[in-house]
Structure 1
Amino acid sequence: MIVDESTTIAACIGDTIGERIISGALLPGAPLRQDHVAREFSSSHVPVREVFRQLQAQHLVVAMPRRGVRVAPLDTNSVKEIAEMRAALEVVALRNAAQRLTSSHLARIEFTLNEGDNARTIEDFERANRSFHQALAAPCGMPRLLANLDGLQLANSRLVFAMARSASWQPRSNQDHRLILQALRARNIDHACNLLARHIQTIERLALPAS
């Protein structure tokens, strides 16, 4: 299979810019100019425009009239939207996945859980956290749903890193993850789904200032 060079360049640019946004190196509202990005990566404007479209589809950037492309906000409305969409869609995915869970799937979920427990940096923790939620949903066999969840997971990662910057993050065990796995092993699907929804909504309460 022949891989178009511009596609490879776009993937490289997209991965780099996306990681900067997720980690907080690029703050909400920061402008992204085609000419600056093209110059940094020694690229034409064609792959950069494609990257901007991809990042917009992932809700990492927004195109604003007369203001150009900017890093998407992390305001109150954004946080609520991310949490509510994840809670709804991940539960749908888990209900469908639960009917297909095998011992291999459960072992994969437990592996990602242990990776999170053993994490010593926020980067390792968030990588494991994202993998745990992906492992829960993966067996559902619904590619469109999984694609939407991937984008929401990236948005959620921004919240995690933003909260870690505002507070001193310490390694810790994720008890919610362990309880979800226990419920799945017991084939108590309703309980697992309720735990998952509550767990996802916790980040909204943590991220938003008390009213």
Structure 2
Amino acid sequence: MTATIADRIYETLSQQIITGELSAGEKLRQDHIARAFEASHVPVREALLRLQAHGLAKSEPRRGMRVTALDPAEVREVTEMRVALETLALQHSVQNMTPVALKAADDARIACDQAETMPQWEARNRVFHRAVLTPCGLPRLLHTIDDLHIASARHLFAHWRPKWVQRVDTDHASIVQALKNRDASAATAILSRHIRRAS
């Protein structure tokens, strides 16, 4: 599927918000964004509405669209939701895992381990989680998990960026091995611990 201008604007702005390049409370001015992307206001409005739907921006009366503030209380809720929903998706993934899907998960794991910066790692980490969960075949569940990863990523950047170091993720390797063994119990236990540890 070809990315639209609105997609490109959304992806760029969401990444800038997640990484903290655009800070909480910062105004998202339609005219400035339209000029930066050489676009009309229509795709800009579409992108801003998507940011709002994902909790990254908020429309305020007489203040316009602004980047939402990080809420520390949200971390616990997002973590518990991720544990519940990702383990549910993984249980279904184990049943549907094909050799092609396993290779995609292992390739994503290796790419994640080779990340040289935190933004690169965070993007590849999301790809890994998506790779192990996609075979569940439950699109609504996956869509909700994607939204939770966006919320989780903002907190990761806010709290872990100064401490981030390149490393091999042994949890990812263990999850892939459990999937190869078709061991749903081990895979979900490792994933649950992994999400809680990261948070």
Question: TM-score over 0.5 for the alignment?
Answer: yes
* TM-score normalised by L of structure 1: 0.83
2:94 and 2:183 in contact (8 A); partners too: no
* TM-score normalised by L of structure 2: 0.88
SS of the residue corresponding to residue 25 of structure 1 reads: coil
State the alpha-carbon separation in 1 of the partners of residues 55 and 192 from structure 2.
21
- Out of 148-157 and 138-147, give the one that drifted further: 148-157
Report sequence identity in percent.
44
Aligned to 2:36: 40
Aligned to 2:47: 51
> Do structure 1's residue 78 and structure 2's residue 74 form an aligned pair?
yes
Alignment counterpart, residue 155 of structure 1, candidates 151, 157, 162: 151
> Do structure 1's residue 180 and structure 2's residue 182 form an aligned pair?
no
> Do structure 1's residue 141 and structure 2's residue 137 form an aligned pair?
yes
State the alpha-carbon separation in 2 of the partners of residues 23 and 203 from structure 1.
16
State the alpha-carbon separation in 1 of the partners of residues 76 and 66 from structure 2.
20
**5+ long unaligned stretches in structure 1:** 205-211
| Structure 1 residue 65, shift from structure 2 partner | 4.1
State the alpha-carbon separation in 1 of the partners of residues 6 and 120 from structure 2.
26
| Structure 1 residue 94, shift from structure 2 partner | 0.7
State the alpha-carbon separation in 1 of the partners of residues 83 and 58 from structure 2.
23
Q: Give the 5 Å matches for 1:1-211.
A: 8-165=4-161, 167-204=162-199
- Out of 50-59 and 133-142, give the one that drifted further: 50-59
2:95 and 2:182 in contact (8 A); partners too: no
Letter in 1 for 2:98: T
1:21 and 1:71 in contact (8 A); partners too: yes
Aligned to 1:209: none
In structure 2, relative to structure 1, the CA distance for the partners of 1:69 and 1:183 (3 Å cut) is same
SS of the residue corresponding to residue 163 of structure 2 reads: coil
Q: Deviations over 1:166-209 (max 9, x none)?
A: x23211111111222222222221221122122112232xxxxx
Alignment RMSD (CA, Å): 2.2
State the alpha-carbon separation in 2 of the partners of residues 203 and 75 from structure 1.
17
SS of the residue corresponding to residue 58 of structure 2 reads: strand
State the alpha-carbon separation in 2 of the partners of residues 118 and 36 from structure 1.
36
State the alpha-carbon separation in 2 of the partners of residues 186 and 197 from structure 1.
18
Aligned residues: 199
State the alpha-carbon separation in 1 of the partners of residues 64 and 78 from structure 2.
23
State the alpha-carbon separation in 1 of the partners of residues 19 and 79 from structure 2.
19
State the alpha-carbon separation in 2 of the partners of residues 143 and 39 from structure 1.
35
1:83 and 1:203 in contact (8 A); partners too: no
